[in-house]
Chain A
Amino acid sequence: MEDLRKRLLKTEERTNYLSQIKDGVEWGNLSGLREKFVTLRDRFYDYTEEELSKEIGLLEESLCFLEARCEETLTSMDRVRIVRNPHRFSLKDILENVYEDYTELGGAEEVSIDPSMVAARASIMRRVKNKSVMQQVMVIGHEKGHGEEYRNGGCSKPWGNEKALRYMRVAETEGIPIHFYIFTPGSFPVEDYPGAGQQIARNLYAMAKLRVPMISVTSEGGSGGAEAVGMADVRLMFSHGYYSVISPEGAAAIEGKIREGEKMPKELVEACAENLHITAAENLKLGTIDRIVYEPPLGAKRDDFGFFRQLKSEIIRATDEVVLKTKSLRAFRAYELTMKKAGDQVVEEPHIEISWDLNEDEVKRLLSYRSKKYRAMSCKAYSEEGSACSAFCQKAKKSIAKLYYSFRYDLLKSQQKQVKKVFQDVSGEGSVLLKQVSSPITAAYDFIARKPGVRPGKPPAAASGSGEDPIEFGDVYTSPLANEDRTVTCPNTEKQGCKDLWVPDLYGEFGGVCENCGHHFPLEYQWYLKHLFDPDSIREFNSGVCAGNPLVYPGFEKRLQAAIAKTGRKSGIITFDARVMGVDLVVAMLYSDFRNGTVGAAEGEKFVRACESAKLKRRPLLSYVHTTGGIRIHEGTLGVVQMPKCTMAVREYIDSGGLYIVVYDNNSYAGPVASFLGCSPYQFAIRSSRVGFAGPRVIRDTTGEDIPPDYHNARNALQRGHIQGIWDRREFRRNLHKSLLTMGGGNLYYR
Chain B
Amino acid sequence: MTHEIDFDAIIGKYRSDPFDYMDVCTIHTGQVRFRVRQDAAVEGPSGEWHHIRGTLLYEMTREGNQKKIFSSSNGVVSFIRDDLEGQFVEAGEKILTIRHPLKKREIIENILRQVLEPFNAPERAKYFFSLELQAKIDKHGQRGVSIKPGDEILTMSLMKRDTPVYYAGEPGIIHSVYFQPGVSVSQGEPLLGICSQEKLPMIQKIITRVKAEWE
Residues B64 and A485 in contact, CB atoms below 8 Å apart: yes
Chain B window 48-87, contacts with chain A (Cβ cutoff 8 Å), 1 for yes, 0 for no: 1101000000000011110100000000000000000000
When chains A and B are docked, how far (Å) is the Cα of A484 from the Cα of B47? Answer: 36
Q: Does A528 contact B (CB under 8 A)?
A: no
Size of the chain B interface, CB-CB below 8 angstroms: 10
When chains A and B are docked, how far (Å) is the Cα of A383 from the Cα of B64? Answer: 45
When chains A and B are docked, how far (Å) is the Cα of A77 from the Cα of B108? Answer: 57
Which of A115-123, A304-312, A486-494, A651-659 contacts the other chain? A486-494
Contact partner of B63 (CB less than 8 A), chosen from A487, A706, A708, A709, is: A487
Question: Which of chain B's residues has its CB closest to A708's CB?
Answer: B49
**Which residues in chain A, 166-195, are within 8 Å of chain B measured between CB atoms?**
none
User: In the complex, what residues of B have CB within 8 A of residue A486's CB?
Assistant: 63-65
Residues A489 and B51 in contact, CB atoms below 8 Å apart: no
Question: Which of chain A's residues has its CB closest to B49's CB?
Answer: A708
Q: Does A429 contact B (CB under 8 A)?
A: no
Question: Which of chain A's residues has its CB closest to B50's CB?
Answer: A709
Q: Does A500 contact B (CB under 8 A)?
A: yes
When chains A and B are docked, how far (Å) is the Cα of A170 from the Cα of B177? Answer: 56
Could you tell me the distance in whole angstroms from the C-beta of A705 to the nearest C-beta in chain B?
9
When chains A and B are docked, how far (Å) is the Cα of A209 from the Cα of B28? Answer: 61
Task: Tell me what chain B mostly uses at the interface: helix, strand, loop, or mixed.
Answer: loop
Residues B65 and A488 in contact, CB atoms below 8 Å apart: yes
Residues B51 and A708 in contact, CB atoms below 8 Å apart: yes
User: In the complex, what residues of A have CB within 8 A of residue B62's CB?
Assistant: 487, 500
Question: Which of chain A's residues has its CB closest to B51's CB?
Answer: A709
Residues B65 and A706 in contact, CB atoms below 8 Å apart: no
Could you tell me the distance in whole angstroms from the C-beta of B200 to the nearest C-beta in chain A?
40
Could you tell me the distance in whole angstroms from the C-beta of A307 to the nearest C-beta in chain B?
47
Residues B63 and A500 in contact, CB atoms below 8 Å apart: yes
User: In the complex, what residues of B have CB within 8 A of residue A708's CB?
Assistant: 48-49, 51
Residues B64 and A484 in contact, CB atoms below 8 Å apart: yes
Could you tell me the distance in whole angstroms from the C-beta of B1 to the nearest C-beta in chain A?
42
Residues B67 and A706 in contact, CB atoms below 8 Å apart: no
Q: Does A525 contact B (CB under 8 A)?
A: no
User: In the complex, what residues of A have CB within 8 A of residue B47's CB?
Assistant: 706
When chains A and B are docked, how far (Å) is the Cα of A484 from the Cα of B63? Answer: 10
Question: Which of chain A's residues has its CB closest to B27's CB?
Answer: A493
Contact partner of A487 (CB less than 8 A), chosen from B48, B49, B51, B64, is: B64
Could you tell me the distance in whole angstroms from the C-beta of A505 to the nearest C-beta in chain B?
12
User: In the complex, what residues of B have CB within 8 A of residue A485's CB?
Assistant: 63-64
When chains A and B are docked, how far (Å) is the Cα of A55 from the Cα of B146? Answer: 87
Question: Which of chain A's residues has its CB closest to B68's CB?
Answer: A489
Could you tell me the distance in whole angstroms from the C-beta of A512 to the nearest C-beta in chain B?
16
Could you tell me the distance in whole angstroms from the C-beta of A736 to the nearest C-beta in chain B?
33
Count how many pairs of residues, one from A and one from B, have CB atoms less than 8 Å apart in the complex. 27
Could you tell me the distance in whole angstroms from the C-beta of B107 to the nearest C-beta in chain A?
28
Could you tell me the distance in whole angstroms from the C-beta of A717 to the nearest C-beta in chain B?
18
Could you tell me the distance in whole angstroms from the C-beta of A515 to the nearest C-beta in chain B?
16
Could you tell me the distance in whole angstroms from the C-beta of A500 to the nearest C-beta in chain B?
6
Residues A489 and B49 in contact, CB atoms below 8 Å apart: no
Could you tell me the distance in whole angstroms from the C-beta of B51 to the nearest C-beta in chain A?
4
User: In the complex, what residues of A have CB within 8 A of residue B28's CB?
Assistant: 500
When chains A and B are docked, how far (Å) is the Cα of A488 from the Cα of B62? Answer: 9
Q: Does A527 contact B (CB under 8 A)?
A: no
Q: Does A356 contact B (CB under 8 A)?
A: no
When chains A and B are docked, how far (Å) is the Cα of A487 from the Cα of B65? Answer: 5
When chains A and B are docked, how far (Å) is the Cα of A485 from the Cα of B65? Answer: 10
Residues A706 and B64 in contact, CB atoms below 8 Å apart: no
User: In the complex, what residues of B have CB within 8 A of residue A709's CB?
Assistant: 49, 51
Question: Which of chain A's residues has its CB closest to B65's CB?
Answer: A487
Chain A window 486-523, contacts with chain B (Cβ cutoff 8 Å), 1 for yes, 0 for no: 11110000000000101100000000000000000000
When chains A and B are docked, how far (Å) is the Cα of A486 from the Cα of B67? Answer: 12
Question: Which of chain B's residues has its CB closest to A489's CB?
Answer: B67
**Which residues in chain A, 656-712, are within 8 Å of chain B measured between CB atoms?**
706, 708-709
Could you tell me the distance in whole angstroms from the C-beta of B71 to the nearest C-beta in chain A?
14
User: In the complex, what residues of A have CB within 8 A of residue B64's CB?
Assistant: 484-487, 503
Chain B window 32-52, contacts with chain A (Cβ cutoff 8 Å), 1 for yes, 0 for no: 000000000000000111010
Question: Which of chain A's residues has its CB closest to B60's CB?
Answer: A489
Chain A window 461-505, contacts with chain B (Cβ cutoff 8 Å), 1 for yes, 0 for no: 000000000000000000000001111110000000000101100
When chains A and B are docked, how far (Å) is the Cα of A277 from the Cα of B65? Answer: 46
User: In the complex, what residues of B have CB within 8 A of residue A500's CB?
Assistant: 28, 62-63, 65
When chains A and B are docked, how far (Å) is the Cα of A528 from the Cα of B65? Answer: 26
**Which residues in chain B, 125-176, are within 8 Å of chain A measured between CB atoms?**
none
When chains A and B are docked, how far (Å) is the Cα of A650 from the Cα of B6? Answer: 78
Question: Which of chain A's residues has its CB closest to B28's CB?
Answer: A500
Question: Which of chain A's residues has its CB closest to B62's CB?
Answer: A487
Question: Which of chain A's residues has its CB closest to B67's CB?
Answer: A489
When chains A and B are docked, how far (Å) is the Cα of A521 from the Cα of B74? Answer: 32
Chain A window 611-623, contacts with chain B (Cβ cutoff 8 Å), 1 for yes, 0 for no: 0000000000000
Could you tell me the distance in whole angstroms from the C-beta of A435 to the nearest C-beta in chain B?
48
Question: Which of chain B's residues has its CB closest to A503's CB?
Answer: B64
Could you tell me the distance in whole angstroms from the C-beta of A480 to the nearest C-beta in chain B?
15
User: In the complex, what residues of A have CB within 8 A of residue B65's CB?
Assistant: 486-489, 500
Chain A window 97-125, contacts with chain B (Cβ cutoff 8 Å), 1 for yes, 0 for no: 00000000000000000000000000000
When chains A and B are docked, how far (Å) is the Cα of A706 from the Cα of B63? Answer: 37
User: In the complex, what residues of B have CB within 8 A of residue A484's CB?
Assistant: 64
Residues B49 and A502 in contact, CB atoms below 8 Å apart: no
When chains A and B are docked, how far (Å) is the Cα of A503 from the Cα of B48? Answer: 34
When chains A and B are docked, how far (Å) is the Cα of A708 from the Cα of B62? Answer: 31
Could you tell me the distance in whole angstroms from the C-beta of A492 to the nearest C-beta in chain B?
14
When chains A and B are docked, how far (Å) is the Cα of A486 from the Cα of B51? Answer: 28
Could you tell me the distance in whole angstroms from the C-beta of A481 to the nearest C-beta in chain B?
12
Question: Which of chain A's residues has its CB closest to B63's CB?
Answer: A487
When chains A and B are docked, how far (Å) is the Cα of A489 from the Cα of B63? Answer: 11
When chains A and B are docked, how far (Å) is the Cα of A362 from the Cα of B76? Answer: 77
When chains A and B are docked, how far (Å) is the Cα of A486 from the Cα of B62? Answer: 8
Could you tell me the distance in whole angstroms from the C-beta of B124 to the nearest C-beta in chain A?
17
6 additional contacts, CB 8 Å, given A502-B63, A503-B64?
A485-B63, A486-B65, A489-B65, A489-B67, A500-B28, A500-B65
Ordered by A's residue number, 7 sampled pairs between the chains whose C-beta atoms are within 8 Å are A485-B63, A486-B65, A487-B65, A489-B67, A500-B28, A708-B51, A709-B51
Which residues of B are interface residues toward A (Cβ below 8 A)? 28, 47-49, 51, 62-65, 67
**Shortest 3 CB-CB distances between A and B: which pairs?**
A486-B64, A709-B51, A487-B65
